[in-house]
């Protein structure tokens, strides 16, 4: 079956099994390896991408669900790394091992699009499903606050 999706602004037609997880279509078919495989059960958030602007876990999302829709991966968020979240991540030295970071950034980007000035509670609630084995949660939250333009003392 052919599946037509707009990936990072580019129309793609994929000749794949419609039940193939979107993650494998992105990584193995399209070569977009920024989205990571973490658990395969939608529990860790490493595979988070946007489907029509909403965060989905690509490891459990069948590619057929993306047929006729727009998918944004970390590569498409800002190809030159200039997205405010990407800049804040670098400025604050958020990553340690870096494995979960694409999923963290994609989840945070959806949050800031929906709520440009989130409270600390809203940040914590939105990011709760994204695991970081290195425990960089405080830096992740600080980077989200920085990208939102909130001063550090303002919550």
- Is residue 26 in a domain? yes
Domain containing residue 14: 2-76
Distance in angstroms (rounded) separating the CA atoms of residues 106 and 49 = 6
CA distances to 41, 54, 67, 113, 120 from 6, rounded to whole Å, are 25, 14, 9, 20, 33
Residue 62 and residue 99 in one domain: no
- Is residue 154 in a domain? no
- pLDDT tens by residue, 121-141: 999 999 999 999 999 999 999
Residue 69 and residue 93 in one domain: no
- pLDDT tens by residue, 71-99: 999 999 998 999 999 999 999 999 999 99
Q: What is the pTM of this model?
A: 0.94
Q: What angle do CA 34, 36, 38 make, to 5 degrees?
A: 165
98: CB partners within 8 A, 6+ apart: none
Over the chain, what is the mean pLDDT?
A: 95
- pLDDT tens by residue, 40-62: 999 999 999 999 999 999 999 99
Residue 8 and residue 49 in one domain: yes
Q: How many domains does the chain have?
A: 2
- Is residue 155 in a domain? no
Q: State the pLDDT confidence band at 154, using cuts at 50, 70 and 90.
A: low
Distance in angstroms (rounded) separating the CA atoms of residues 104 and 100 = 6
Look at residue 7 in the predicted model and tell me its pLDDT. 98
What is the three-class DSSP state of 109? helix
């Amino acid at each position: 079956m052919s599946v037509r999706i707009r990936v990072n602004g580019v129309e793609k037609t994929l000749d794949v099994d419609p039940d193939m997880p979107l993650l494998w279509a992105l990584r193995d078919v399209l070569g977009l390896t920024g989205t990571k495989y973490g658990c395969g059960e939608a529990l860790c958030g490493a595979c988070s991408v946007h489907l029509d602007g909403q965060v989905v876990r690509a490891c459990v999302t069948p590619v057929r669900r993306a047929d006729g829709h727009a998918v944004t991966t970390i590569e498409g968020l800002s190809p030159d790394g200039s997205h405010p979240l990407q800049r804040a991540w670098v400025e604050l030295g958020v990553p340690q091992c870096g494995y979960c970071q694409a999923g963290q950034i994609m989840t945070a980007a959806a949050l800031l699009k929906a709520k440009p000035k989130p409270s600390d509670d809203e940040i914590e609630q939105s990011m709760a499903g994204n695991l970081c084995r290195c425990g960089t949660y405080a830096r992740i939250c600080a980077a989200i606050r920085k990208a939102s333009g909130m001063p550090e003392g303002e919550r």
